[in-house]
């Protein structure tokens, strides 16, 4: 067994090597999402090892058993008895293990310096007629000399669902199904559920029963698991501590959405009678209900049957549900960008046919395989963010200025899409995207609306055109013509007026 001092020295050395490994991983320029995600998980594992060795050092420094103090006292003695005793122990160990190999510890950390994408690009190219064996050996060699292991590859394949796309999106389909099965839930589609899953204040308080508590807890656990899988370097414990502190303050002041005093006693804001489990829309109806004999009997029966213990358990259960809701709301704020990306992806996929969805899945699989095998291209220097040309390189700056691509035009009707240059902006008014959005607004995509990009302007112009069209429409009696006895032709209105006056 190593001495206490040697254990401390080894722990300090391991911490320094682990910190250097983290730095080597951080400076690698990785282009692929899957490789960056694997690197974040590897860094998270290294940080956990640093924390474990730091805890060991703290425990050794405390020296609760007194071994470190006794060892230090023995080493500080003037005699060499302790030195020769340890030297004899080392010699005896090597006599009993003559063939032991010396493994330099720095070899375990060399792999963190190598970029796996560069290693794959530098691997020798294989012919199409080669067997799978050499390819598998090449993959094993690449994994052996970089931080990407076979276990990492397997985890990336199985750690996420198809909807999550390696942590790019969230997958709340299972939670959506559970929400629809809870009491008091609104029948909303999945796309709308993504926009309101963290809005618990609109859910009736009387419907927040045990089934609802299980749903909220399941939603909380999924989001926490998503943080661990898709964002391993995110400091989730710090967010949880802050959320718990904010919840305690808001709960004491009655400011938690859906759990305030107004919601509890049926105040003017909620008009909810908790004892009877009824909610009212009008204050007059609510006040009449409070004066009713049925309500008073219900309150008396609950007060007599529940007792202080039952009321305390109920309050504690409600507080736990509110706490879980508060955590989900805080998690949703952090994941707002990914939730927005998920809604956009779901909306896009809903517009696809079944054949297009199948084709997209096949293309995704091909893209993943190609991403593993393709060489890593050199990064293109493009400080001006110029558009790419047909050759995959930025277009010349003079051409960029000639076409006016430095000016960006936004179209609110097309979802605030940005178009570079006047030509692309004018052309998009005839494209299917703009035409479809105009049709959804109930506006014809005629020439009069070209150049109108704001929804309010388009609606105002449409109303004006309709009003002018109604004002210019001639009366029906002006179309019909009449002829008098002398052959003079008048419209019907003029003819009747002259005839009543006796002029014809």
Residues 6 or more apart from 179 whose CB is under 8 A from it?
185, 193, 197, 215
Task: Tell whether 431 and 481 lie within a shared domain.
Answer: no
Residues 6 or more apart from 470 whose CB is under 8 A from it?
none
Task: Tell whether 307 and 418 lie within a shared domain.
Answer: no
Task: Report the distance separating Cα 318 and Cα 335, nearest Å.
Answer: 26
Task: Tell whether 439 and 491 lie within a shared domain.
Answer: no
Task: Report the distance separating Cα 373 and Cα 367, nearest Å.
Answer: 10
Task: Tell whether 97 and 28 lie within a shared domain.
Answer: yes
Q: Does 112 fall in a domain?
A: yes
Task: Tell whether 111 and 177 lie within a shared domain.
Answer: no
**Cβ contact 482:489 at 8 Å:** yes
Q: Which of 344, 374, 389 is the last residue of a domain?
A: 344
Q: Does 386 fall in a domain?
A: no
Q: Whole-prediction pTM value?
A: 0.60
Q: Does 228 fall in a domain?
A: yes
Q: Does 460 fall in a domain?
A: yes
Q: Does 363 fall in a domain?
A: no
Report the number of distinct structural domains present in the chain.
Answer: 4
**Domain with 334 in it:** 173-344
Task: Report the distance separating Cα 65 and Cα 355, nearest Å.
Answer: 70
Task: Render each residue's pLDDT in the chain as its tens digit; 504 residues.
Answer: 578 888 899 999 999 999 999 999 999 888 888 889 999 999 999 999 999 999 999 998 888 888 878 777 777 776 677 778 888 988 898 888 888 887 777 878 888 888 887 777 766 544 444 444 445 555 555 555 788 888 888 888 888 988 898 899 999 999 999 999 998 888 899 999 999 999 888 888 888 888 999 999 999 999 999 999 999 999 999 999 999 999 999 888 888 887 765 454 444 345 667 667 666 777 788 788 888 888 888 877 766 655 444 556 777 888 899 999 999 999 999 999 999 999 988 888 877 777 776 777 666 655 555 554 444 444 567 777 788 877 778 888 888 888 888 888 999 999 899 998 888 899 999 998 999 999 999 999 988 898 899 999 999 999 998 888 876 655 556 668 888 888 888 888 888 988 888 887
Q: Which of 134, 158, 182 is the last residue of a domain?
A: 158
Query: What is the CB-side half-sphere exposure of residue 504 using CA atoms within 13 A?
Result: 15
Task: Tell whether 334 and 202 lie within a shared domain.
Answer: yes
Angle between helices 210-230 and 173-180 (to 10 degrees): 170
Q: Which of 344, 360, 389 is the last residue of a domain?
A: 344
Task: Tell whether 203 and 152 lie within a shared domain.
Answer: no
């Amino acid at each position: 067994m190593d001495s206490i001092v040697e254990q401390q020295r080894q722990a300090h050395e391991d911490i320094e090597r682990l910190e250097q490994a983290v730095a080597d991983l951080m400076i690698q320029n990785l282009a692929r999402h899957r490789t960056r995600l694997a690197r974040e998980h590897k860094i998270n594992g290294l940080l956990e090892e640093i924390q474990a060795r730091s805890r060991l050092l703290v425990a050794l420094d405390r020296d609760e058993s007194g071994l470190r103090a006794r060892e230090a006292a023995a080493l500080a003695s003037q005699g060499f008895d302790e030195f020769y005793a340890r030297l004899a122990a080392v010699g005896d160990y090597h006599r009993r293990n003559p063939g032991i190999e010396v493994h330099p510890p720095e070899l375990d950390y060399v792999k963190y310096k190598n970029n796996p994408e560069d290693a794959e690009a530098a691997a020798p190219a294989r012919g199409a007629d080669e067997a799978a064996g050499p390819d598998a050996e090449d993959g094993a060699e690449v994994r052996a000399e970089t931080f990407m292991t076979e276990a990492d590859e397997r985890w990336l394949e199985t750690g996420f669902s198809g909807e999550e796309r390696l942590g790019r999106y969230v997958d709340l389909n299972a939670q959506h199904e559970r929400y629809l099965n809870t009491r008091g839930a609104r029948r909303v589609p999945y796309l709308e559920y993504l926009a309101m899953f963290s809005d618990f204040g609109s859910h009736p308080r009387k419907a927040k029963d045990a089934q609802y508590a299980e749903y909220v807890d399941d939603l909380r656990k999924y989001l926490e698991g998503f943080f661990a899988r898709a964002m391993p370097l995110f400091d989730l414990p710090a967010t949880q501590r802050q959320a718990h502190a904010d919840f305690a303050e808001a709960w004491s002041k009655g400011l938690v959405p859906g759990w305030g005093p107004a919601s509890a006693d049926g105040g003017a804001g909620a008009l909810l009678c908790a004892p009877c489990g009824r909610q009212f829309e009008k204050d007059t109806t609510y006040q009449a209900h409070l004066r009713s004999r049925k309500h008073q009997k219900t309150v008396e029966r609950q007060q007599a049957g529940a007792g202080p213990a039952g009321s305390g358990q109920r309050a504690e259960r409600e507080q736990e549900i509110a706490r879980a809701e508060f955590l989900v709301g805080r998690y949703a704020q952090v994941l707002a960008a990914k939730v927005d990306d998920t809604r956009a992806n779901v909306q896009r996929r809903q517009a696809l046919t079944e054949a297009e969805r199948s084709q997209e899945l096949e293309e995704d699989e091909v893209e993943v395989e190609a991403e593993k095998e393709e060489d890593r291209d050199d990064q293109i220097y493009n400080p001006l963010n110029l558009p790419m040309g047909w050759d995959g390189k930025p277009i010349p700056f003079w051409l960029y200025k000639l076409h006016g691509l430095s000016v960006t035009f936004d179209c609110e009707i097309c979802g605030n899409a940005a178009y570079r240059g006047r030509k692309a902006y004018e052309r998009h008014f005839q494209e299917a995207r703009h035409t479809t959005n105009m049709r959804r607004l109930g506006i014809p995509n005629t020439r009069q609306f070209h150049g109108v990009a704001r929804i309010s302007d388009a609606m105002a112009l449409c109303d004006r055109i309709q009003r002018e069209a109604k004002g210019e429409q001639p009366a029906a009696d002006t179309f019909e013509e009449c002829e008098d006895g002398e052959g003079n032709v008048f419209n019907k209105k003029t003819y009747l007026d002259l005839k009543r006056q006796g002029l014809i």
